[in-house]
Structure 1
Amino acid sequence: MTTAEMLIAAVRSGDPVHDADLPDCDLREVDLTGMCLRGGSLAGADLRGTRLDRARISGTSLAGADLREADLTDAELSAVDLSGARLAGALLGDTRFDGCRMLGTVLRGVRGLAASFVLTGCNLQLADLGDLALRGLRISECDLSEADLSGADLRTVVFDRCRLRGTVLRAARLDQADLRTSDLGEITPDTPRELRGAVVSPAQAAAICGALGLTVIG
């Protein structure tokens, strides 16, 4: 029995899997529903179309994994390395990402985002979240520096203590998006246009006015 077959057998028996080392393995369209995976590595794994609904994955490397069209409904990923992973077309209804490393992760094109979708404490530097419908979500303590949010629907999103330094917001919809507790990075004359409709703090507003050559006296 191969290591991949042992993983599948363990999942089907309902047993937690610890420290599985399966880099670059082929698990395309395999049913891993309810998998409990702790530690180990599936870096570079082919997980296209794989069923991972209700999976519980913690401390595992999925760096560079191909998760396109995978089903991650109700999955919980904690302290998982997803750097460079591709999730286009993945189903993320009610999925939770907590404390994950997601540098350069491609989320553009994911499906099924619900109000209970969670991004908290994640490093999303350089990630691609372009065109995502994130309306009404709360994104907490995430680093989105230089991430691509172009064309995203961010209306009423609460960015709670996030880093938005150099974040690409071209054509994003920010009506009533709450940025008051977040780090906006360098304020430039283009900032007012990029943040049109967003809610900012008095200090942020003063910085924006300063970038336009205005002096706020109050």
Structure 2
Amino acid sequence: MTADVTTPEELLAAVRSGAAVRDPLLDEDDLRDTDLAGLDLRGGSLAGADLRGARLDRAHISATTLTGVDLREADLTDVVLTGVDLSGARFAGAVLGDTRFEGCRMIGTSLRGMRGLTASFVLSDCNLQLADLGDLSLRGLRISGCDLSEADLSGSDLREVAFERCRLRGTVLRAARMEQADLRGCDLGEITADTPHTLRGAIVSPAQAGAICEALGLSVLE
């Protein structure tokens, strides 16, 4: 069963009835504190919508435009977002326990201040260029196939994070905790004399270690 949705009231009615929502157009709408738990949403656009404090737990959202959406203080526990455009979205104070972001466009998204992360939180194949992930505790998580170029991870706890096939070109890692962060297989971008200090404690590959030594003016002989 699917429902045609053009107003916030119709969206809420669809969720309450258990109907799937397809291709709604709710740009800029006020959905503050709305109970959308279990929402099944595919396509459409809620660009710029105000979802502060909304309940979205157990929602499945795919191929939807959520650019600039305000999700501060929202509950996104157990939410699965696939192929969603979240560029410029704000998540301060949002609860994201067991949330999955898969193949999402998250350019300039602000995740600073999100809460409730667990070991099953997933960031996979997402574009996080210029995103703000500063001062987060991501310890022990797995981040795979993500582009974090020029993203801000300053002050974050990245200990034991497994970065798999990630791009870290120009990523800001100032004051981040990097002990046992696994960077093997990642694109670290330009290696400079500051790189050893920035990556202190991280795990790198022999090729990456050689590039770092070269940046320091050292020669590695076998």
Same fold (TM over 0.5): yes
For the Cα contact (< 8 Å) 2:6–2:24, is it kept in 1?
no
- Give the number of aligned pairs: 218
Q: 2 CA distance for matches of 1:94 and 1:82?
A: 18
Tell me what 1:156 maps to: 160
C-alpha offsets along residues 55-106 of structure 1, whole Å, 9 cap, x if unaligned?
A: 0000001100000000000000000000000000000000000000000000
Closer, same or farther in 2 for the Cα pair 1:2/1:21, shift >3 Å? Answer: closer
For the Cα contact (< 8 Å) 2:63–2:83, is it kept in 1?
yes
Q: 2 CA distance for matches of 1:88 and 1:63?
A: 16
Which residue identity does 1:33 align to in structure 2? A
Alignment map for 1:122-137 (pairs within 5 Å): 122-137=126-141
**Counterpart check, 1:197 vs 2:197:** no
- TM-superposed CA distance for 1:2, in Å, is 6.4
Q: 2 CA distance for matches of 1:78 and 1:12?
A: 22
**Counterpart check, 1:79 vs 2:83:** yes
Query: Where does structure 1 differ by over 3 angstroms across 4 or more consecutive aligned residues?
Result: none
| Root-mean-square deviation (Å) | 0.9
Question: Percent of aligned pairs with the same residue?
Answer: 75
C-alpha offsets along residues 126-177 of structure 1, whole Å, 9 cap, x if unaligned?
A: 0000011000000000000000000000000000000000000000000000
Equivalent position SS for 1:21: coil
Consecutive unaligned residues in structure 1, runs of 5 or more: none
Which residue identity does 1:198 align to in structure 2? A
Q: 1 CA distance for matches of 2:106 and 2:178?
A: 23
Q: 1 CA distance for matches of 2:76 and 2:164?
A: 24
**Counterpart check, 1:212 vs 2:220:** no
Alignment map for 1:47-62 (pairs within 5 Å): 47-62=51-66
Q: 1 CA distance for matches of 2:146 and 2:16?
A: 34
**Counterpart check, 1:24 vs 2:28:** yes
Q: 2 CA distance for matches of 1:205 and 1:72?
A: 39
> Which of the numbers 183, 186, 192 marks the counterpart of 2:187?
183
> Which of the numbers 136, 139, 146 marks the counterpart of 1:142?
146
User: Structure 1 length as normaliser, TM-score?
Assistant: 0.99
Q: 2 CA distance for matches of 1:47 and 1:202?
A: 46
Tell me what 2:172 maps to: 168
Tell me what 2:93 maps to: 89
User: Structure 2 length as normaliser, TM-score?
Assistant: 0.97
Equivalent position SS for 2:12: helix
C-alpha offsets along residues 104-137 of structure 1, whole Å, 9 cap, x if unaligned?
A: 0000000000000000000000000001100000
Which residue identity does 1:176 align to in structure 2? Q
- TM-superposed CA distance for 1:12, in Å, is 0.7
Q: 2 CA distance for matches of 1:198 and 1:69?
A: 33
Q: 1 CA distance for matches of 2:15 and 2:188?
A: 43
**Counterpart check, 1:43 vs 2:47:** yes
Q: 2 CA distance for matches of 1:12 and 1:58?
A: 19
Consecutive unaligned residues in structure 2, runs of 5 or more: none
- TM-superposed CA distance for 1:4, in Å, is 1.1
